Each structure stands twice: as structure tokens, then as C-alpha cells.
Copies of this chain bind each other. A is one copy, B any other.
């Protein structure tokens, strides 16, 4: 299918979004930001054979690319606005596959409150790849950075961790509702979405905040997938929870009272676990159930896709 026909197809699917002053089909899309807000922007790729298995359904490649970008919007506690996407198609991708991929970009963006308003398509690439830029908005005083964790804070995480390779890395829902609820409930000092694994991303958060974390192993919420995976890998389910990438859960630091309330009440129906605290000094440690301590090291698969 010629480029033009595919763009017309996308234009029909995307329809017109109220936010877009100018949508698909011009040189740029244009949109108005909500009054008093600043723009937040992030870009993420999903490459067949790198971020997903060769032969992954094109719909899932598109879906994952949108979800990954929106997970970064959640991690700033920002509101989603829109997406733009660049897709390049590998030689094996049929016309139906191409349509399926772009349809997934449109549908997933709309589901997550960030409709597709522009893009670029290319054939002739050696593998299928999608790059999504998500735009969001936020009150500048409410955006949450990685760098604000304070002594006395408790370290919290949404959901459960590990084993996403069994499927959740494609199907996860970015924690947008949870982030919005969190922002409304308390002051969040620092936050990151877990894409590289708990151990790696906890170190990112601690380093950017110039603090050290003490993570209690017994408090880390281990997913059923991590347990299932552990039966085949010879590693413990806990190690999978610490080191597997692509959980896309929120890891954040708040004052102790806030943390206790969140752990009790959850966020938008999702559980919150207190897994540790900001300790003294700059080094981060893991505290085992038997009381022994060891350094927290970046055991997370440093997946080539970055954060």
C-alpha cells in the first residue's frame, strides 16, 4: 500500500480530536495546552527483536509503544494530551499488518487519553519499529521529578513486580489513573516508572535525589508471573521482582504518614506497598528478612531501550 493511502486510512481512524486544532494530514499537528499548564514530552521506541520478540503481532508492537510513552507521562504525575508516532515497516509486514499496527496506535492512544494527532510512516526498514512521542500537561508546581526524595521519606511501589516477560510487558496499563490520584492525595517528592527493573530504577531515583534507599526484601510485592518464571529459570521469584525490566509500575517517595495512608487505601484500585525508606548516606542497601544487609546493585537488565 502506498504511503498516501495508509495516511488516509490513519486519518479516517483517528478522526478529529477536540484537543487538536490541526490533526493528521498537515505538516505539523497543533494543540492548545490547558490554561496555566506547561507541556511535558517524552519519546520511546519499540523495535521488533529488541523490545519484543521477532514475529510479535504488529498490533501489540503499536500498543506497547503507546503504553511505554504514556508510562513516562504518569511518572511525572502529568495529564496525557496526545501522541505522535513514526512507524517503519520491516519487509515481512503485510498490508493487513501495517493497518493493524496503525490502528493499534490510534485505539491505544484514545484509550489512554492521548489520541494520535500526527505521524510519519516509512517502508523499507529491516525490522518493524515504532517510535511514539507523548505530550502531556501539568501545573509546573505539581510535576514530580526523580530528584526530590528526602530523608525520612518512605519508598512505595504500585502493583507487583517481576516476570513481565511472560506477557505483561506488552499488555500493561500505564499507571495514569494511579498517578493522577496520587497527585491529588499528597505531595509526591520523587517518582519514576520501573522500566529497567526495581533495583536499577531505585538506584536512578536515589542517585538523582542524592540519597540512599534501604529496601526491605520481605516488603517487595512479588508478582505471580515472577513466581511462575522462577520455576523455569533457577532464580528466585524475589530476584525476578528486583531485577526484571518492564514492570511499568510507579516507584515513588512520600512522607511517612502519606505512605501509610496510601498503603492502606491503595490508588485508583491498585495496591501500594511500602518497600523501604530513605536511609542515611548515599549508598543504597537491601535488607533481607534475617536482618542481613547488602548493597543494592543494578541487577536489572539494562534494556537497550532506556527509560
Contacts and interface: CB of A to CB of B under 8 A. Distances in A.
A139 to B, nearest CB: 11
Contacts of A31: 38-39, 41
A122 to B, nearest CB: 5
Contacts of A27: 42, 72-73, 75-76, 146, 191-193, 307
A125 B120 contact: no
How many subunits of this chain does the assembly comprise?
2
A3 interface: yes
Chain B CB within 10 Å, residue with most, of A25, A27, A42? A27
B125 A32 contact: no
A32 to B, nearest CB: 5
Q: Report the contact-size class of chain A (Cβ under 8 Å from the partner).
A: 35 or more
A45 B79 CA distance: 26
A38 B49 contact: no
A305 B122 contact: yes
A297 to B, nearest CB: 14
Given A33-B38, A45-B86, 8 more contacts: A21-B140, A25-B208, A29-B40, A30-B38, A30-B39, A47-B88, A124-B304, A133-B133
Interface of A: 2-4, 7, 21-22, 25-33, 38-45, 47, 49-51, 72-73, 75-76, 78, 82, 84-86, 88, 117-127, 129, 131, 133, 135-136, 138, 140, 143, 145-147, 191-193, 208, 302, 304-307
